[in-house]
Structure 1
Amino acid sequence: MAILHTAMSEIKFLSIRFRAFAQATEIEERVLAAMKFASGTEEVNVTATTGHFGNPITVFETELLKAGQIKNFLGRLAEAHIPENLIGQEEERVDEECAFHFRLDKQKAYLEELALASGRDVIDVRLKVGVYPARREAAVAAIKEWLAD
C-alpha cells in the first residue's frame, strides 16, 4: 500500500494491476517490453490462451504491491501529465470495487513513453483505492481530490 501525500490530499492506493494482450500478429517481446516499461517492474506473468475463434492470445499481467513501486509509478504518471487528463472522468472510471481504471497506449509504452490510449492497442491499468468504508462514492471522492492536486 502506498499513501500519496499531496498539497491538499492524502490517498491510499493498495495495488496497481496492469494487463495487456498480444494477438498472433504481434511480437510478444515488444508487448513484454511495453509492460515492463509501463509498470516499472521486470516481473510480468505471461500466459498463453486461445480466443473465441481459436486464435492464439498471450496475456501479460503484473501487479505493484510495494509502496515504493506504487509511488514510483504515480510519479511517472504525474511527469507524463496523465492525471490531469483524467479530470472529470472519475465517475465512469471507478468501479464498485473501488478501483480506478484507465488505459495506456501499448505502442507508446514500447517506445518508452507513458500516454493515455485512444485506440484499442492498450495496457489496462487498475488502481485499487484504499477507502474505509470501501464504498464507490468514497473512492470517487478520493480520486477527484487526487486528480485535482
Structure 2
Amino acid sequence: MSEIKFLSIRFRAFAQATEIEERVLAAMKFASGTEEVNVTATTGHFGNPITVFETELLKAGQIKNFLGRLAEAHIPENLIGQEEERVDEECAFHFRLDKQKAYLEELALASGRDVIDVRLKVGVYPARREAAVAAIKEWLAD
C-alpha cells in the first residue's frame, strides 16, 4: 500500500430495539480494533429506541493497524474505481463494513443495511476533494 496520511478514522453503528447491544458493541470493538467505544441512547422518528455506537482512531499506530487489517481482508482492492463517489467535500473517504461479519470477527464490505460506517479523514494540503481523491486512488492502486 502506498503511504497516505489519514488524520483519523471514525466508526459508527446503530442498534435497533430488536438487536442485542452487546453484539453490536463486540462488532464495533473488533472492527475498530479498540476497546474505547462511546454508547449513546436515543430514539427514532417513531419513538423507537436506538443505540448509537461510535469510536475514533486518532493515533498513528491505531490507524496503521486498522489499515493493515483492511489490507489483510482485501478490502482496499474491492474499493478500486469507487474513489470519486466515496470521497466527500471534507476530504473523507467513506465505506461500510458488514456488522454481522464483524461480530463474527471478520472484516468485510457490507452489501446490506446492517453496517458499521467507516470514515477515513485524508490528510491532504491544501484540503481539496480532488487531492483527496487522487491520494485515495494512489493508495488503493498500490
What TM-score results when the alignment is normalised by the length of structure 1? 0.94
1:9 Cα offset (Å):
3.7
Separation in structure 2 between the aligned mates of residue 98 and residue 148 of structure 1, nearest angstrom: 18
Separation in structure 2 between the aligned mates of residue 23 and residue 140 of structure 1, nearest angstrom: 34
1:10 Cα offset (Å):
2.5
Separation in structure 2 between the aligned mates of residue 114 and residue 129 of structure 1, nearest angstrom: 21
For 2:5, what is the secondary structure of its paired residue? strand
In the other structure, the counterpart of 1:5 is none
Q: Deviations over 1:20-49 (max 9, x none)?
A: 000000000000000000000000000000
In the other structure, the counterpart of 1:92 is 85
1:74 counterpart (67, 76, 81): 67
1:127 counterpart (120, 123, 131): 120
Number of aligned positions between the proteins:
142
For 1:117, what is the secondary structure of its paired residue? coil
RMSD: 0.8
Separation in structure 2 between the aligned mates of residue 148 and residue 65 of structure 1, nearest angstrom: 24
Separation in structure 2 between the aligned mates of residue 39 and residue 26 of structure 1, nearest angstrom: 20
Separation in structure 2 between the aligned mates of residue 50 and residue 108 of structure 1, nearest angstrom: 26
Q: Deviations over 1:36-95 (max 9, x none)?
A: 000000000000000000000000000000000000000000000000000000000000
Structure 1: which 5+ residue stretches go unaligned? Answer: 1-7
Misfit runs of 4+, over 4 Å? none
1:11 Cα offset (Å):
1.0
Separation in structure 1 between the aligned mates of residue 2 and residue 37 of structure 2, nearest angstrom: 32
Q: Deviations over 1:88-108 (max 9, x none)?
A: 000000000000000000000
For 1:91, what is the secondary structure of its paired residue? helix
Identity of aligned pairs, percent? 100
Structure 2: which 5+ residue stretches go unaligned? Answer: none
Separation in structure 2 between the aligned mates of residue 89 and residue 10 of structure 1, nearest angstrom: 19
